[in-house]
Each structure stands twice: as structure tokens, then as C-alpha cells.
Structure 1
Amino acid sequence: MRSELLDVHTGRREVVFDLTRQCAEFVARVSDSGDGLLHVFVPHATAGVAILETGAGSDDDLLALLEELVPRGFGWRHRHGTPGHGRDHVMPALIPPYASIPVIDGQLALGTWQSICLVDTNVDNPDRQVRLSWLAG
């Protein structure tokens, strides 16, 4: 297995951060144009990885839906950080901190409109890491 960490600056606002380019570059470096799996993992308790369309409003829709389903104003028991930070700690139960993407002939086997995204609702932590791991087939 080959693995490396990406440093990602997400800032102090909720964000859906597209990682597809960095993932494709990693796969190009390590896959020898072969088949396998790319595993993407976020080693944080308040972020997740999602496969979705970006740039057409879906990323903003996802953040709005999460606010509707898991509002900051809920009476969270987990209370450190900014108001409503408890929601960030339950977010990985809804958006898991990992995804695995098939790789065929050294290319990510994503659908036409699919992107690999870091979903970060934690405004207290502007810097993240993402672990990319290559599992050859």
C-alpha cells in the first residue's frame, strides 16, 4: 500500500472542498497505470468525505440540508468550541470520514459529474489533513 497525507486549508466557514484533482494526481503517481482502489480518509472527528456533483449548486445544497437536518441551534450536549459545535462531532455519522474509489487503467472510475469532496462544517478548525491510500489490484 502507498499512502500520503494532503494538507487542506478549508478556512473558517463550512465548505465542500473538491479533492478530485489531488486524488487523480496521487493515483497517476502511484498506480503505474494499473487497477486498484483509492481510499480517501479524513482523520478528524468533525469532517467527512462525500462523492457528489460540485459547481452546479449541489455542494451548497448539501450544506443547507445539513443545517436543516442537524441545526447548530439544537441543544447539543457537546459544548466546547463555537456555539453549535456539537453538530460537527455528529457529522461523521451522516457523512463518513472515508470513501473508496475504483481505479481502472490508472484512472479514477468516477461518473461524469462525480467529485471527491471533503465536507467540513467545523468553523473552529481551518486546517485539515486527508490521507490518500493506494491499494493495487
Structure 2
Amino acid sequence: MSDAFTTRILRLVTGSAETVTDLTHECEQFLAETASGRDGLLNVFVPHATAGIAVIETGAGSDSDLLAALHTLLPADDRWQHRHGSPGHGRDHVLPAFVPPHATLPVLGGRLELGTWQSVCLVDTNKDNPERQVRLSFLG
């Protein structure tokens, strides 16, 4: 594989509750090991039909606010046609339309170029599948 493109898979266990998991440190560590001071792009991708990637502030309540907003937009009730799994699981399959399964972020001088309060997060509302993968890919 070319030095211009490097990829790694993170394996995470999100548990049995809806979660917003901050991946910023893992992204920064990956870039420290692979970007070698170069400019480029970091792509973060979750290959699951019931999870997404968000760039948001964490730690000040925004992660909880995001989950609350998703509950308002996508209630976990019996309205969904997709009905396997726990009650309301069909809404988990609609989540990626609101929180996409990917984000592409600028890398300058080998460092992730985020705003002051921005974090890269995995958003997982699927309580039935606690094991997740996230692919980090650097192109530079």
C-alpha cells in the first residue's frame, strides 16, 4: 500500500446503551503514526447500518443533547416497518440518514484540523449490537 494512503480499523464495544463515543484521540494517534507531517484528508467511516459519525462538541452536554434530539426525531416505538431486534430498532436503521456513516476531515502538517470545541464521535443508538468497527483512512 502506498505511503499516500493508509488505513486502520478500530474495534470498539459501545455497550447496551445508546452512546456518543469520542474518537478524537484515536484519530490523532493514527495521524501521528501515519501522516508524517503531511497535509491531506482523514476519512472516518463506520461500516454499520445503524451507526454514524458526527463532528460535535462533547463533555458540555452536547452529546446527551444529540441523543435526546434523535429520540425526538426518531422515537424508539412501534411505528417502524423494520421490526426485528429490540422494540423501536427500526429507527436505528434510519439514523444514518441524519448522522451519516462517514466524515472527511482536513489534516494540516500531520494534525487533525478541528475547531476549538469539535470532536469526532461515533453515534450508536443500536443497543442490540455493541461491537463496532470504525475505519480510519489517511490520504496525503
Q: Hey, what does 1:75 align to over in structure 2?
A: 79
Name stretches of at least 5 consecutive residues in structure 2 with no aligned partner.
Answer: none
Q: Which moved more, 1:68-77 or 1:53-62?
A: 68-77
**Matching residue's letter, 2:133:** Q
Shift, 1:71, TM fit? 0.3
Q: Is the 8 A contact 2:44 2:53 kept in 1?
A: yes
**Matching residue's letter, 1:124:** D
Q: Hey, what does 1:42 align to over in structure 2?
A: 46
Q: Is the 8 A contact 2:83 2:90 kept in 1?
A: yes
**Matched residues, percent identical?**
61
Q: Over aligned residue pairs, what C-alpha RMSD do you find? A: 0.6
Post-superposition CA distance 1:61-95 (Å, at most 9, x none):
00000000110115110000000000000000100
Q: Hey, what does 1:102 align to over in structure 2?
A: 106
Q: Is the 8 A contact 2:78 2:87 kept in 1?
A: no
**Equivalent-residue separation in structure 2 for 1:73 and 1:45 (angstroms):** 19
Name stretches of at least 5 consecutive residues in structure 1 with no aligned partner.
Answer: none
Shift, 1:5, TM fit? 0.3
**Equivalent-residue separation in structure 2 for 1:116 and 1:91 (angstroms):** 17
Q: How many residues are matched?
A: 136
* SS of residue paired to 1:25: helix
* SS of residue paired to 1:6: strand
Aligned structure 1 segments of 4 or more residues deviating by more than 2 angstroms = none
Q: Hey, what does 2:94 align to over in structure 1?
A: 90
TM-score by length of 2: 0.96
TM-score by length of 1: 0.98
